[in-house]
Amino acid sequence: MKTTKNMKKTLLIGSVALLTLVTAACGNSNNANKGSADGEKVTLNMMHPWTSPNVDNEVYKARIAAFEKLHPEITIKQDGVAAAQYKTKLRTLAAANNLSDINVVWPGADLEPLVAGNLLMPIDSEMANWSSILSTEALAGFNQGGKQYAIPTKQTFVDIIYYNKEMFAKVGYDTFPETYDQFIDAIKKLKDSGITPISLGNKEQWPLQSSYLSAIQERFVGSDFLAKVMNKEAKFTDPEYVKALGVIEELSKLKAFNTDANNMDSVQGQDYFIQGKAAMHISSSTVDSRIRITNEEGNKFGIALFPSVTGGLGDAKKSSGVAQYGIAISSDLDEKQKAAALEFMKFFVNEDLYKELISKGVVVPAKVDVPADASEYLKEMIALTSNGTSPVFDSIIPTQVTSVMQNGLQAITVGRMTPEQLAKDVQAALDGMK
Amino acid sequence: MHTLKGTKYAIFFGLLPALIIYLGIAVVPIGMSAYYSFMNWDGIHPMTFTGFDNFTEIFKDSIFWLSVKNNMIILLTGVLGQIPLGLLLALLLNRSMKGAGFFRTIGFLPVVISSVMVSLIFGTVYNTEYGLLNSILGSVGLDSWQQNWLGDTKWSMFSISVAYIWQNCGFFMVIFLAALQNIPNEVNEAAELDGASGLNKVMRITIPMIRGTILIAVVFSISNSFRVFDLIQIMTGGGPAHATEVMTVYMYNNAFVNMRFGYGSAVSVLILIFSLIVVTIVNRLGKEKA
């Protein structure tokens, strides 16, 4: 008796659950159909990586909201994906030929497969909207085969050293060390006085590659080295490059990083520095807003670039930078969606966006005047980064080779690999690419 | 006879939806993976047939063998950690004591929590700076025992194994509890009349009585160990420097991060073959003894 009752109950619950599932599924497809079929309303999907607490992310989201208010007939359905996973998801969707209608893309090596697969729509016919405020240089990363595929929102310099002035003063450095030897000396003194010299959050593995290696390689081998490697005119195993990788080994051996560097993510790494637990943090120009601009105690911190090295072939004044957050439209849209997407792009990336970003202290790739009342910190950042730009490692080197480099850099920090071995592995990965 | 004929069709039609779904999401993808595993394919450019190239490259890659080794560690922690601990908990809770229901729920709770939460919880426990484990060690004066649990390659696999045991031993506890309750009372009473008690009774009466269940639990545990992914991916991402990478993480990194879907498919085919081999061996061993 009892079992039959239970059975009935289970059956009932089961069928109700099934019914909800089926109706829910139907409901969804109905809505989706309405979106594009109905004459007036257009729904566009947009995937973006704007989930972290950076100020520019807030600006972007506010602009999407403003656009929807201005155009009630167009709905932007956002899919925010954490930055660390974003590129993986973008590539996977690209492989499945299932990109969102509007996408945020990275330049250079990351853009290449999307273009090769004809997944993005060239926007050359619309360039009149942007050509007056954006230089060809800023657009170059998103231009392939003579066609423009995306418009960048900001200029990110990836290798800014944020340092705690008080801590450096304590060990006798009133200004940031100019040369690598002084830099190492400062690290040793900081270490001796019980301060963690550098806070690093390398769990996601890109910081050592993007923020560290990009800067260090510029000092040792110069800006055109990576391009030469791609053209097979130079090799990662060249002694100068191995020396550059040796910097990571030297810093690890000096125990310059916090002990849990490989378990903390990049935001935790920033927090560690902001809370005064470390003397330096190396990261992008964007996090200046967290570290100084919106921080009441921001004046404790200074900014600098990686110091010069003896015998280096590069330029110690150059900062590694990349025009970022290219807004691109999928090639797989019908006429109505295409018109709506272009409308969105024209509104989203325009002079107002760049001005708004500048007012929040973010460096932009556009020729927009820096307002007189802009943050002093921003002016300092612009001054620091205006002496030439060198490439970021992963904007030139293909993803699968970059991943060997990132894993290897992490291996060096835990003493499981030597710079020579890593150089050999990375070169082999590049040579073995099909 | 007539009625049976009718039900046969009914059974067939009843099974049909489940069968179609199963074919669609399990059998067909396995076939597709096998096909892709002979290709060089980044998902965007056209595929090219490369024969066994992917497999030879995998076998030559020392990182793959490291991930196999880590899988074996996970497998052994599963079989030698989760199952004995699950059995112990089941034996403790299989008696009429105050709050037995409460403790059973507590024991089963980790199984219900999603792996993401388990990873985040243990990530916090293992944190070097403010983690629970190091704080406890510090507060009882064992500072020298404090470790960088997840970041030090000497300890990272061990730390993950502990989290893995914690996550799953409740599942085996419940399976064993059900089996223990199915042991007929006469057997227990007869054993007690003959003077068996405590450990003696457990070893000679209880465990032989639930032998079948233990074997199933071992097979479960092994197939689980080949599937472990989210726990590690979130806690360490396979790092530092591949030290905690298992085969599934290796597959994910190659297929989805490096965009080598052919290579990734080849790895997943190998995972399937490896787990089939191990499960078959265990089944054979179990049968011979019976």
pLDDT class for A230, splitting at 50, 70, 90? Answer: very high
d(CA B40, CA A35) in angstroms, rounded, equals 38
Across the range A263-269, mean pLDDT stands at 87
Q: How far is B204 from chain A (nearest CA, A)?
A: 34
Q: What is the pLDDT of residue A220?
A: 93
Which residues touch A269 (CB under 8 Å, ≥6 apart)? A199, A200, A201, A202, A207, A258, A261, A281, A283
Task: Examine residue A419 and say whether the peptide bond preceding it is cis (omega within 30 degrees of 0).
Answer: no
| Nearest one of A215, A165, A184 to A384, comparing CA atoms | A215
Q: How many A×B Cβ pairs under 8 Å?
A: 89
CA of A398: which chain B residue's CA is closest?
B258
The rounded distance, in Å, linking the Cα atoms of A145 and A143 is 7
On average, the pLDDT of chain A sits at: 85
Q: Is B129's CB within 8 Å of A403's CB? A: no
CA distances from A69 to A39, A66, A348, B282 (A): 19, 5, 13, 64
For residue B125, list chain A residues with Cβ-Cβ distance below 8 A: none
Nearest CA in chain B to A412: B241
E runs forming strands in chain B? 39-40, 48-49
Q: B19 pLDDT exceeds 90?
A: yes
Q: pLDDT-based confidence at A7, cuts 50/70/90?
A: low
Question: What does the pLDDT look like over A24-79, one tens digit per residue?
Answer: 444 444 344 334 444 578 899 999 999 887 788 888 999 999 999 999 888 899 99
**DSSP-based helix, strand, coil % in chain B, nearest 5:** 75, 0, 20
pLDDT of B200 reads 81
Asked if pLDDT for residue B253 goes beyond 60, the answer is yes
pLDDT for position A12: 54
Take residue A166 and report the two structure tokens written for it. 């008080």
Residue contact A261–B151, C-beta within 8 A: yes
Contact assignment for A94 to B40 by CB distance below 8 Å: no
Q: Give me the amino acid identity at B228.
A: V
Mutation for B interface: A85, A263, A277, A424, most B CBs within 10 A: A263
Q: Which of these, A48, A51, A412, lies nearest to A265 by C-alpha position? A: A51
* B257–A259 CB contact, under 8 Å: no
What would the mean pLDDT of B197-224 be, rounded to a whole number? 86
- In tens, the pLDDT along A153-200 reads 988 899 999 999 999 999 999 999 999 999 999 999 999 999 999 999
Please report which helix (H) or strand (E) contains residue A338, including its range: helix A335-348
- Chain A residues within an 8 Å CB radius of B243: 414, 416
Taking the C-alpha atoms of residue A259 and residue A252, their distance in angstroms, rounded to an integer, is 10
Q: Catalogue the long-range contacts made by A229-236 (C-beta closer than 8 Å, 24 or more residues apart).
A: A229/A397, A229/A430, A230/A396, A230/A397, A235/A427, A236/A423, A236/A424, A236/A426, A236/A427, A236/A430
Q: How does strand B39-40 pair with strand A326-329? A: unpaired
* Full strand arrangement of the beta sheet holding A319-324: A154-157, A319-324, A389-390
Average pLDDT of the residues in B112-116? 88
- Mean pLDDT to the nearest integer, A303-323: 90
CA distance A257 to A263: 12
Please answer yes or no on whether B243 and A414 come within 8 Å at the CB atom: yes
A96: pLDDT strictly greater than 90: no
- Minimum-distance CB partner of B44 among A117, A408, A413: A117
Whether residue A305 is predicted with pLDDT greater than 90 in this model: the reply is yes
B108 touches B86 (CB < 8 A): no
Does residue B165 register a pLDDT over 80?
yes
pLDDT at B44: 79
Of A260, A408, A416, the CB nearest to B151: A260
User: Which residues from A are below 8 Å from B42, CB to CB?
Assistant: 95, 113
Comparing CB atoms, the residue among B43, B50, B128 nearest residue A95 is B43
pLDDT of residue A14: 52
Q: What is the pTM of this model?
A: 0.79
Mutation target to probe the A interface, by most A beta carbons within 10 A, among B127, B129, B245 is B129
pLDDT for position B105: 87
Q: How far is CA B234 from CA A60, A332, B119, in A?
A: 28, 34, 6
Give A92 to chain B, closest Cα distance, Å.
6
pLDDT of residue A1 exceeding 60, the answer is no
- What would the two tokens of residue B230 be? 């989210």
Using an 8 Å CB-CB cutoff, list residues of chain A that contact chain B: 88, 91-92, 94-96, 113-114, 116-117, 119, 203-205, 258-263, 399-400, 403, 407-408, 410-411, 413-414, 416-417, 434
Which residues, listed in sequence order, are joined to residue B41 by a DSSP beta bridge? none
In which region does residue A203 sit, left (phi positive, over 0), alpha (psi from -120 to 50) or beta (all else)?
A: alpha
Q: How far does the CA of residue B134 sit from the closest CA of chain A (Å)?
A: 13
**What Å distances lie between residue B101 and A195, B90, B108, B161, B170, CA to CA?**
51, 12, 11, 27, 13
pLDDT in tens, A196-217: 999 999 988 889 999 999 999 9
pLDDT above 90: residue B139 = no
CB contact under 8 A, A95 and B241: no
Give the gap in angstroms from C-alpha A387 to the nearest C-alpha of chain B.
Answer: 34
Listed range (A243-247, B13-17, B70-74, B103-107) with the worst mean pLDDT: B103-107
Q: Among all chains, which residue has been given the structure tokens 């243990």?
A: B122
Q: Check pLDDT > 70 for residue B250.
A: yes
**Domains, chain A, ordered by start:** 4-153+325-366 (3.40.190.10), 157-320+392-431 (3.40.190.10)
Q: How far is CA B260 from the centre of its chain?
A: 26
pLDDT score at B51:
87
What is the rounded distance in angstroms from the CA atom of residue B159 to the CA atom of residue B134?
Answer: 13
Give the residue numbers in B contacting A (CB under 8 Å), as ranges: 40, 42-45, 48, 50, 123, 126-129, 148, 150-153, 236-237, 239-243, 253, 256-261
Q: Percent of chain A at pLDDT above 70?
A: 91
- Provide the H-helix boundaries in B61-114: 62-77, 83-93, 100-112
